[in-house]
Structure 1
Amino acid sequence: MTARAQHATPGSAYAEALAGVPPFSGLRITGAERPTATGFAGLTLFVTTEQPDGTERKFVVKAAPWDTRVYPEPRIAEQYELLRVLGRDTDVPVPAVHHCEPSARLLGGPFFVMDLIPGQVPSDFPSYHRQGWIAELPAEDRARLWWASMDAMSQVHRVDARRLGLGFVAPPDGGPPGTTQQLDYYERHMEFFGCAGDPVLSSALSWLRAHLPAEPGPPGLLWGDARLGNIVYGEDLRPAVLLDWEMTGLGPAEVDLGWFLWMDRFLSEGIGAGRLAGLPGHEETVQRYGELIGRPLAPLPYYEILAGFRFALVTSRVERIVLAARVMPPGVPLALHANAKAQLGRALARITGSS
């Protein structure tokens, strides 16, 4: 079954496909649904089961169908192993994982199964800056949520990646871990993302190459897609779990912080929305984050341009997938990618002094 056809499979067929897969063996699957508020990187299923004692238990299945993959390699096995190690050996809040299936036979691509953790997740579309439960919070609670998110992310950056043997999260076809490795990786895959020859992306890559900073220390673990929308929050507004590790790798903590700040800016300034009152500002966040990880941070503008470059690559790939699926009329640009590229262009102009 092709990935696109598999995406159209009703819940009952998903349940039938998963029936013999651990941890579902011996449990009755009572529901298998695709949530509407998930990202673009593959297939997500919420699976509800009934245990032998009649109690209900819920799981998440994360799959990477080949035809609609956002990243060059699905790296499902690496995500599974990373979450397994983090859950076993660290305090990083991650969901428990139960099974990794390397075959594409059942869901059109490899997948893994993890616990579904209840809680609230900030919305990207529509942006949490415009509406939703964060917009409805008092300003002081928004600040509390922001700092709790920084605390949780800093736990990732305090992980001893070498001691835990996490070298497998680095891109599979690169050199020594670090920022240069990331640039090499994305440059090799410009055609995959649909950005080969794009003037804005090419200019950003050239600038990033020319202004590469010294690495601030040994490469550590990176979350990758670090943002509010990938955090499940409990009733106390603290992160219950950090989600979506498709972009994980090794490098300086500044890579994740730059991405976090860039994505927050994209979901406000980048789409013409005002930023919510109460959320701490850029300088305050950078200063506090250095305190959390125990060292001064390297200048963030470089890592924010890096974030904008990577994000525009991802949105370009998403646009290609959406157009191929005929979700939008041919020739109609996807606002997501147009906005991402425009924000990157403005940031480059500011940093280079060009008009």
Structure 2
Amino acid sequence: MTNVKTKIFPNRNFPLRRPSLQKEDAQISIDRWFSSNPARFEDLRVQNLQAPKSSGVANETWLVETIRRTPINKIEAPGPRLVFRLAADDFLYPRSDLRLHYDLYDCLGSISDLPVPEMLAFEEDPSFLGCRFFVMTHVEGFAAPDRPNFNYDGWLADYSVGDREAVWREAVSVMSRLHAVDVSRLTPLKLDEFSSRGGVRDCLDYWIAYADWCGAAGINLISLATDWLEENLPLTIEQRAGISWGDARLQNLLFDGTRCSAILDWDMVSLAGAEADFAWWTVADHKYTASRGLPRLEGIGSPAETIALWESMSGRELKNFDWHLVFAAFRQALISQRLVALSGTNAAATQIPHEPSIGLQWLSCLLDIRVEFTVTLPFVGLDK
């Protein structure tokens, strides 16, 4: 057992993304953009707009209700509901490129039956909203909430056990279909600027560089984990290449009833395969349930049950999952470190962390490294 000193994060604020524009300014700017696009949007204007109630960290989003002005008598009629997604270069992720999100949604919509929003326009000109942005159709549905976590409150907690199980099974079905996509047809992931994200080796390289970028490389526990991941990297022949959604969580799926209406958020997309997704799913699940000694919602399967269901749907087994669990904890620890660095910035609203991240705590457990903080979120196995 190795004994290391690890920086214990102070009791500081974790950020949520704060809108870069006031609501009134955003409405004026979007109306101006509508007028500048006569082929498709000139007759539209904003009737109402709002940020999502459960706003995330990586990107800024506006939900826009529109009205349509008829060309002859100017009578106003209901227009489409739209979503404006704004760029967030180097906020939470280095080398973040909104264009990848747009192209990936568009590609998946054309080559698969996955539920993705229709892409309508990509705007390169930052003069409208202060940055690049894209526009997509609004999709009906609800995401499982983060705050409070869906295991404690919200629409999913109000569902019957049978409906919760249907939601869980639908989520796993969507992931099995995503992981079955032929990676040779995922042309957005073959762009030169994203080639370093291809495969497990290159995905690891990205996150090692992330550790330097976010200032975590000097933390002893991160350094030891980096060495372990390098030394135990799965051989390419043992690791099936495939798309990894990245931020694979129930909260990043929209549901209309028990049907998944959209899969969202591609900030962490790579070609590291399904294994990376289910390791991340496990961390996200246990953060609010098993690692805290709390039950998950009845009807939602454990990580072991989720993996077994996916394997039965996909017809193959996950490989090298122990390595991917460490990799998922490593990534979570790095993102948490970046969130600490962002705390208190003008771009952030806040909530207060009161313990070291689950990523750091799991690294100490999975790698059997003694640390100076108290482990309050232990790894307790996949079947919990």
- Contact kept, 8 Å, 2:92 with 2:338, in 1: the verdict is yes
- Whether 1:264 aligns to 2:264 is no
Q: Of residues 356, 364, 382 in structure 2, which corresponds to 1:338? A: 356
Conserved? CA contact 1:122–1:229, under 8 Å: yes
User: Is the 1:70–1:314 contact (alpha carbons within 8 Å) kept by the matching residues of 2?
Assistant: yes
Q: Quote the Cα distance in structure 2 between the aligned partners of 1:115 and 1:342.
A: 38
CA contact (8 A) 1:6 1:108 kept: no
C-alpha contact 2:100 2:188 (8 A) present in aligned 1: no
1:122: Cα distance to partner? Answer: 0.5
1:40 partnered with 2:63:
no
Aligned-partner Cα distance in 2 for 1:193–1:5: 17
Query: Taking every aligned residue pair, what percent have the same amino acid on both sides?
Result: 27
Residue 341 of structure 2 is aligned with which of 320, 334, 337?
A: 320
Alignment pair present for 1:58 and 2:81? yes
In 1: Cα distance, 2:352 partner to 2:115 partner: 34
Aligned residues: 344
1:11 aligns with 2:23: yes
Which residue of 2 is the match for residue 200 of structure 1? 221
The counterpart of 1:281, out of the listed 302, 306, 310, is 302
TM-score, scaled to structure 2: 0.81
- Whether the aligned pair in 2 keeps the contact of 1:65 and 1:108 (CA below 8 Å) is no
Greater shift in the superposed pair: 306-315 or 208-217: 208-217
Change over 3 Å in CA distance of 1:66–1:58 after alignment to 2: same
Secondary structure in 2 aligned to 1:32? strand
Q: How many angstroms does 1:220 deviate by?
A: 1.7
Residue deviations 1:86-143, cap 9 Å, x none? 1122111111111112233333332111111121210112111111122222223222
Residue type of the alignment partner of 1:213: P
- Measured at CA, do residues 328 and 96 of structure 1 come closer, stay the same or move farther in structure 2, by a change above 3 Å? closer
2: distance between equivalents of 1:180 and 1:322? 31
1:228 maps to 2:250: yes
Name the CA distance, whole Å, in 2 between partners of 1:307 and 1:133.
28
Residue equivalent to 1:27: 44
CA RMSD of aligned residues (A): 2.8
> Could you tell me whether the CA contact under 8 Å between 1:270 and 1:339 is conserved in 2?
no
Q: 2:183 aligns with which of 143, 151, 161?
A: 161
Q: 1:129 to 1:6 in 2, by over 3 A?
A: closer
Closer, same or farther in 2 for the Cα pair 1:282/1:66, shift >3 Å? closer
Name the residue aligned to 2:316: 295
Return the alpha-carbon distance in structure 2 between the equivalents of residues 104 and 212 of structure 1. 41
Residue 341 of structure 1 and its aligned partner are, at CA, apart by 3.7
1:126 maps to 2:148 = yes
Matched residues in 2 for 1:123 and 1:89: separation? 30
Higher mean displacement: 303-312 or 269-278: 269-278
Select which of 75, 78, 81 maps to 2:100: 78
Shift of 1:173: 6.2
CA contact (8 A) 1:140 1:278 kept: yes
TM-score in terms of structure 1 length: 0.87
Of 124, 130, 134, 1:112 maps to 134
Q: Which amino acid aligns with 1:279?
A: I
Q: Which has more radius of gyration?
A: 2
- Whichever residue aligns with residue 109 of structure 1, its letter is C
Query: What amino acid does structure 1 have at the position aligned with 2:267?
Result: E
Over 3 Å counting, the alpha-carbon distance change for 1:71 and 1:327 in structure 2 is: closer
Secondary structure class of the residue paired with 2:356: helix
Once the two structures are TM-superposed, the CA of residue 336 in structure 1 deviates from its matched residue by 7.7
Deviations 1:308-339 (A, max 9, x none): 2112222222222223239689xxx9518833
Counterpart Cα distance in 1 of 2:128 and 2:292: 38
Of the structure 1 ranges 37-46 and 50-59, higher mean CA displacement relative to structure 2 is found in 50-59
Q: 2 CA distance for matches of 1:291 and 1:5?
A: 38
- Per mean C-alpha deviation after superposition, the further-off stretch among 193-202 and 101-110 is 101-110
Query: SS of the counterpart of 2:184?
Result: coil
CA-CA distance at 1:9 after TM superposition:
2.3
Q: Deviations over 1:208-239 (max 9, x none)?
A: 1122123445522221111100010012x121
1:270–1:343 CA contact under 8 A, matched in 2:
no
Higher mean C-alpha displacement, 6-15 vs 112-121: 6-15
Deviations 1:220-273 (A, max 9, x none): 2221111100010012x1211001111112122111121122211113245664
Q: Which secondary structure does the structure 1 equivalent of 2:243 belong to?
A: strand
Q: Hey, what's the Cα distance between the residues in 1 that align with 2:117 and 2:347?
A: 34
Q: Residues 287 and 315 of structure 1: is their aligned pair in 2 closer, same or farther, counting only changes over 3 Å?
A: same
Counterparts of 1:7 and 1:115, CA distance in 2: 20
Q: 1:278 Cα deviation (Å)? A: 2.4
Amino acid at match of 1:339: S
Residues 164, 121 of structure 1: alpha-carbon distance in 2 compared, 3 angstrom cutoff: closer
1:221 match: secondary structure? coil
Aligned to 2:241: 219
**Contact residue 45 and residue 60 of structure 1 kept, 8 A:** yes
| SS of alignment partner, residue 185 of structure 1 | helix
Q: Runs of 5+ in structure 2 lacking a partner?
A: 1-15, 71-76, 372-384
